[in-house]
């Protein structure tokens, strides 16, 4: 579904933003961030002074097999070192800062990053520690602030969720993703001719069952029924299924239906 | 930042899609999903036969204080019961299914849901159990399939992450969210007059320091320098800061700079 192949380098690696976690606290969060990154094709994780060191056993299970990211993860002593090879760095923050720096949405950020990457630049996303968020000194090293729009009365977002959202938005900027599609498996949409045969079959049976009552009602009901089935975009096979349904109801269904009606009548009587 | 006030009902509750977790396994994942939901203003959580029952102690800490969602959570015995009051139901799946049903992106899904909600319809999102995902019978009850575009070689996404992404996309369809803005705090952008005074000040000092060397170079460098500072969109206060910088360099900085140049010269000699 996701056409990322053309974005790969010769080393078979998707070029994407580096994810830089500044002083992350919990190994579990790092692991979950790793999983979310790789869900969206990102592999360049950088840790600035992780509290519990690195490698961290607690990160392995939550990474759920994204070993390629775990293995490549690099550790730095400062944010400045971690971003030194990047041209554009975006700082994620949940709360407003006393800083005169452009604030952009994740979507805008990822669209800018995609543009930079396409023109050969390296980009990165900075994430602060779980509770405190990024320090203002880290933000001052960044190109702009990215702020995830959040419920103002509950803006405390989990670190791995934040990494996931940004990674997701990055993947969204891949232009190959279609808004919607209808999988047709091994079949194909029915032709109008096939549909018309279904209509004729159904309408003949309904006519015989006395369903239409009057000519006026027949013309109205026929239109309604036809609209239902044209709207469903039936496949070749589904037309056959529906013809089987009509046939079964017309031949075997009558008696059952009458019995059921009797049942309902009795029930209503008892409820009175 | 997020202007959701106009979407609130009289009971002060944001109208949004119901999140329906079908047979969720881990309380921790439910709690994390709750947190992510409320991060994006969603409060209607429904659980279909949660493995460890409900309420579940393990969900409380990961919910991180989103008690309003925990308290409102309802439990159902079947998917059909859980969605009976909803008009449109979208089934999230990570893997393709053998079904002829429209597959849409999260973004498209949320834009459709927003339209339905605005016209007074109730909508919901179905999520399957952690490992297996939704059963085909649940998908057959849904309006369409939502598929998060994922790295095809690592498409196993965490349940709470999936809930987070969908909740995020729902919140994105709120039209009040701006792509970018520049916070000006208590200050305002400098006028051209203020900027021009800074340019004159800087250029006078540079002239005196012999920086421009020739008339031709002066005109070029002046243009370059002016472009740097017009591009920065300086505020009133930042213009003052820059004037202080120019003044400090022009009066006190000279000696230091010459000393530093000597230092560099020595160093280069030693390296030869």
Residue B272 three-state SS: coil
Q: How many CB pairs under 8 A join A and B?
A: 164
> Using the beta-carbon criterion (under 8 Å), do A149 and B174 form an inter-chain contact?
yes
Q: What does the pLDDT average to over B163-190?
A: 85
A123-156 pLDDT, tens digit per residue, is 999 999 998 899 988 998 899 999 999 999 999 8
A48-88 pLDDT, tens digit per residue, is 999 999 999 999 999 999 999 999 999 999 999 999 999 99
Q: Is B163 within 8 Å of chain A by CB?
A: no
> Using the beta-carbon criterion (under 8 Å), do B39 and A4 form an inter-chain contact?
no
Q: Is B174 within 8 Å of chain A by CB?
A: yes
- The set of residues, in sequence order, having a beta carbon less than 8 Å from that of A187 and lying 6+ positions away, is A235, A236, A237, B100
Query: What was the pLDDT predicted at A261?
Result: 54
CB A144 within 8 A of CB A103: yes
Query: What was the pLDDT predicted at B2?
Result: 36
Q: Which of A39, A65, A166 best tests the B interface by mutation, with the highest count of B CBs <10 A? A: A39
Per-residue pLDDT for B257 more than 60? no
Q: Is A155 within 8 Å of chain B by CB?
A: yes
Q: What does the pLDDT average to over A252-260?
A: 54
Lowest mean pLDDT among A95-99, A258-262, A266-270, B111-115: A258-262
- Residue B252's pLDDT band (boundaries 50, 70, 90)? low
Query: What was the pLDDT predicted at A228?
Result: 84
> Using the beta-carbon criterion (under 8 Å), do B179 and A65 form an inter-chain contact?
no
| Residue that wins the pLDDT comparison between A239 and A176 | A239
CB B75 within 8 A of CB B50: yes
> Using the beta-carbon criterion (under 8 Å), do A149 and B171 form an inter-chain contact?
yes
Query: Quick one: what percent of chain A has pLDDT higher than 70?
Result: 86
Per-residue pLDDT for B3 more than 60? no
Q: Considering only CA atoms, which of A70, A35, A29, A55 is closest in space to residue B28?
A: A29
Q: What b-and-e string marks burial along A86-98, b requiring 16 or more CB atoms within 10 Å of the CB?
A: bebbbbbbbeebe
Both tokens of A36, joined, read 């979310």
| Residue that wins the pLDDT comparison between B227 and B23 | B23
Q: Is B95 within 8 Å of chain A by CB?
A: no
- Residue B253's pLDDT band (boundaries 50, 70, 90)? low
CB-count burial class (<10 Å; 0-12, 13-18, 19+) for B39: buried
- Contact residues on chain A for B238, CB-CB shorter than 8 A: 100
Q: Considering only CA atoms, which of A134, A148, A88, A142 is closest in space to residue A112?
A: A88
Whole-model pTM: value is 0.80
Report the C-alpha dihedral over residues B221, B227, B230, B232, rounded to 10 degrees: -100
Report angle CA A84, A108, B36 to the nearest 5 degrees.
Answer: 95
Q: Which of A 213-242 lie inside 8 A of B, CB atoms?
A: 235, 238
Per-residue pLDDT for A22 more than 90? yes
A184-241 pLDDT, tens digit per residue, is 777 788 888 899 999 999 999 888 888 888 888 888 888 888 888 887 888 888 899 8
How near does any CA of chain B get to the CA of A81, in Å? 23
Q: Is A183 within 8 Å of chain B by CB?
A: yes
> Using the beta-carbon criterion (under 8 Å), do A66 and B165 form an inter-chain contact?
no
DSSP bridge pairs for B125: B19, B90
Query: What was the pLDDT predicted at A267?
Result: 63
Query: What was the pLDDT predicted at A8?
Result: 40
């Amino acid at each position: 579904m996701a056409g990322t192949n053309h974005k790969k380098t010769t080393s078979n690696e998707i070029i994407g933003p580096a994810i830089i976690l500044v002083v992350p606290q919990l190994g579990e969060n790092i692991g979950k961030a790793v999983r979310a990154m790789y869900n969206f094709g990102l592999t360049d994780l950088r840790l600035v002074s992780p509290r519990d060191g690195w490698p961290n056993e607690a990160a392995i299970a939550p990474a759920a097999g994204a070993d390629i990211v775990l293995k490549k993860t690099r550790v730095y002593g400062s944010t400045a070192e971690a971003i030194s090879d990047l041209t554009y760095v975006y700082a994620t923050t949940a709360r407003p800062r006393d800083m005169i720096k452009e604030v952009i949405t994740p979507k805008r950020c990822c669209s800018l990053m995609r543009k930079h990457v396409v023109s050969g630049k390296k980009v990165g996303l900075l994430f602060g520690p779980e509770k405190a968020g990024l320090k203002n000194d880290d933000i001052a090293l960044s190109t702009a602030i990215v702020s995830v729009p959040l419920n103002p009365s509950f803006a405390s977002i989990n670190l791995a969720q934040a990494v996931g959202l940004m990674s997701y938005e990055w993947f969204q900027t891949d232009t190959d993703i279609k808004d919607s599609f209808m999988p047709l498996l091994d079949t194909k949409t029915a032709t109008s001719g096939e549909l018309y045969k279904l209509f004729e079959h159904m309408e003949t049976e309904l006519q015989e069952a006395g369903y239409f009552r009057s000519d006026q009602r027949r013309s109205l009901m026929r239109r309604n029924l036809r609209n239902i089935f044209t709207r469903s975009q039936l496949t070749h096979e589904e037309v056959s299924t529906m013809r089987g349904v009509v046939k079964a109801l017309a031949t075997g269904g009558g008696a059952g239906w009458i019995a059921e009606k009797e049942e309902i009548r009795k029930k209503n009587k008892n409820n009175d």
